[in-house]
Amino acid sequence: MVHERHLAEGLVKALEAAARSQGASRVVAARVRLGPLAHCSADHLRAHFHEAARGTAAEGCRLEVLEPGDLEEWGRQDASGAVVEEVEVEV
């Protein structure tokens, strides 16, 4: 449970940073991919994400969570985390 909350909080911070970098006030949607060692389901991450996003620029964000790929395809990225692939913001 702590791992999932940590993933969700990190995701919110990454989305807020993406919004700031684009001069946006709100994150509308995001697509993320779970790492093959994340040990977290897409539904579980979404639930923790929506809780962590309350009161932030990511609150109400439509979150698409893609299932992890093969560990070898993941490369040097942290395979126990989640990677933001796309962000849609509102300026």
Structural domain harbouring 59 = 2-90
> What is the pTM assigned to this prediction?
0.89
Say if CB 37 and CB 3 are below 8 A apart.
Answer: no
Positive or negative, the Cα torsion across 65, 14, 82, 45?
negative
| Count of domains forming the chain | 1
pLDDT at 7: 92
Q: Specify the CATH number for the domain of residue 64.
A: 3.30.2320.50
CA atoms within 13 A on the CB side of 41: 3
42, β-bridge pairs: none
Low-confidence residues in the chain, pLDDT < 50: none
Query: Look-up: residue for tokens 């807020």?
Result: 16
